[in-house]
Amino acid sequence: MRLWNQKKSSEPALDKKQWAIVIVLGLMGYYLASYLDFLGLQTISAGLERLIIFSYPTFVVLFSAIFYRRALTATVIIALGLSYIGILLVFIESLSLASTNILLGSAFVLSSAIIFSFFIMGSGVMVHCIGSVRFTAYTMTVASVATLTHFAFHHNLVLTVTTIPLEVYSLSLIMAVFATVLPAFLMNNGIKKIGANSTAILSSVGPIITLVLANQLLQETITNTQLLGTFFVLAGGLMVGRMKE
């Protein structure tokens, strides 16, 4: 994508500071946050995981208020309250179920959400400095190198690659293209056009889609509490999403 974009436009090279920021953000957003998220998914349901991970818009708003001195309006405070109530409802219900290590899994996912919120904030600055295509291509390349290095330290790389079933490669290719690369480019382009806060909040429609897919593909039960919690999260997201950056 970077090479293709370079043919279309001539852009100045990144300086050392920009390269350092790109590397740090790539490690945070597409490597560490993803790794912690997958660790959490080992012990909690996909529905709960999506609600927790989509608390990151609230962290974006809160951290923006702290670091950029942006005032929290009454509408934003109400929206954040609705989102946290929704997450709390589903979390409490999940605690009542006999799920192993749900607290640890939830902590992993919450850590992922916090790290990703810093990535979104940094993205909001960098996409305007170097462009959304360059930023996404570079940060995802950094994360790819980190992921392969991590994998090589824990597995026999050659043996694993040659013994993985073809079905795994097929599913991985689909996930890489349609659930990772395309969403990353779309999100970073959205950040460039409407800002980090609005992009983060609007993306909170993800939990309700995940509930439906988890029910259809993973046979996870959709409860009334999950639906109510999702409604609160979406209501909070829409309130902030309709505001101007």
Alpha carbon of 155 to those of 148, 150, 163, 175, 213: distances in Å?
10, 9, 12, 21, 31
Question: What is the tens place of the pLDDT at every residue in 171-213?
Answer: 999 988 988 888 888 877 787 777 766 666 666 666 667 777 7
Q: For helices 206-217 and 224-241, what crossing angle results, to 10°?
A: 150
Question: What is the tens place of the pLDDT at every residue in 97-112?
Answer: 555 688 888 899 999 9
In this prediction, residue 88 carries a pLDDT of 81
Mean pLDDT of the chain: 81
Query: Per the domain annotation, does 3 fall within a domain?
Result: no
Least confident of 45-54, 133-142, 197-206: 197-206
**Domain count of the fold of the chain:** 1
Residues of the domain holding 93: 17-241
Query: Per the domain annotation, does 12 fall within a domain?
Result: no
159 CB burial (10 A radius; 0-12, 13-18, 19+): exposed
Query: Per the domain annotation, does 191 fall within a domain?
Result: yes
Query: Per the domain annotation, does 11 fall within a domain?
Result: no
Cα separation, 113 vs 36, in Å, equals 9
Cα separation, 87 vs 80, in Å, equals 11
Question: What percent of the chain has a predicted confidence (pLDDT) above 90?
Answer: 22
Token readout for 173 is 């290719």
Query: Per the domain annotation, does 106 fall within a domain?
Result: yes
In this prediction, residue 27 carries a pLDDT of 96
Is there a contact between 211 and 50 (Cβ–Cβ < 8 Å)? yes
Mean pLDDT across 121-144: 87
Query: Per the domain annotation, does 63 fall within a domain?
Result: yes
